[in-house]
């Protein structure tokens, strides 16, 4: 699936088109059977990841303070890119009703659960290392940080994402 948008680049004088590309991942392609690791890495996970990154940085030229390895995304090392989906690479949630390709995997195990699985996304206060976070939605459970650093907030299973980004070291 590709999504495009028109942006007025060059000081508003020249229209510029941007686009993203993302697959629809069938349950079982990457997801581990019976609720294992990467259970959310199916159906619209990659699409929601790419839409968020495209909307926040359509030209891939927004830089932030370098952010280091975090538990769900060790492969990025120390990055200075505003990549809202990369730090939460394995974190997601289930929502809605998905009836597409919900049968068992070829080996007989079951990964599909009847829901769509968007990815969690990091918010700007995480990259900015704002603490306490007074600008985002409040966390779902009381926290000294007050606001969320990801869309899922305190519901995110990775502890490294419930506060601001650690410094690169």
R_g of the chain computed on alpha carbons: 17
Q: How confident is the model at residue 37 (pLDDT cuts 50, 70, 90)?
A: low
When pLDDT is averaged across residues 43-54 and rounded to a whole number, the result is 91
Who contacts 112 (Cβ-Cβ below 8 Å, separation ≥6)? 27, 28, 42, 98, 101, 102, 103, 104
Measure the CA–CA gap between 106 and 62, rounded to whole angstroms: 42
pLDDT at position 68 = 83
Which of 150, 93, 91, 159 has its CA nearest to residue 125? Answer: 150
Measure the CA–CA gap between 75 and 9, rounded to whole angstroms: 32
Mean pLDDT of the chain: 82
Q: What is the dihedral of CA 143, 84, 152, 76, to 10 degrees?
A: -80
- Identify which has the larger pLDDT, 9 or 29: 29
Q: What is the pTM of this model?
A: 0.80
Which of 78, 167, 64 has its CA nearest to residue 123? Answer: 64
Distance of CA 43 to the CA centre of its chain: 14
SS3 of residue 1 by DSSP: coil
Model confidence over 66-118: pLDDT tens digits?
A: 988 776 666 777 888 899 998 887 788 889 999 988 888 777 888 888 999 99
Q: For the residues of 2-56, what is the DSSP string, one character each?
A: EEEEEEEEGGGTEEEEEEEE---BPTTSSSPGGG-TTTT-SBTHHHHHHHHHHHH
Who contacts 11 (Cβ-Cβ below 8 Å, separation ≥6)? none
């Amino acid at each position: 699936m590709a999504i495009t948008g028109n942006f007025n680049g060059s000081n508003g004088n020249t229209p510029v088109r941007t686009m993203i590309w993302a697959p629809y991942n069938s349950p079982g392609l990457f997801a581990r059977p019976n609720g294992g690791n990467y259970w959310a890495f199916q159906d619209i996970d990659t699409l929601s990841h790419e839409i968020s990154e495209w909307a926040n940085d359509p030209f891939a030229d927004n830089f932030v303070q370098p952010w280091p390895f975090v538990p769900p995304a060790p492969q990025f090392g120390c990055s200075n890119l505003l990549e809202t989906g990369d730090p939460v690479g394995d974190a997601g949630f289930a929502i809605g009703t998905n009836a597409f390709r919900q049968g068992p995997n070829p080996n007989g195990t079951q990964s599909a659960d009847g829901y769509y699985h968007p990815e969690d996304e990091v918010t700007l206060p995480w990259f900015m290392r704002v603490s306490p976070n007074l600008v985002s939605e409040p966390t779902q459970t009381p926290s000294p940080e007050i606001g969320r650093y990801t869309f899922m907030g305190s519901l995110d299973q990775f502890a490294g994402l419930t506060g601001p980004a650690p410094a690169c070291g």
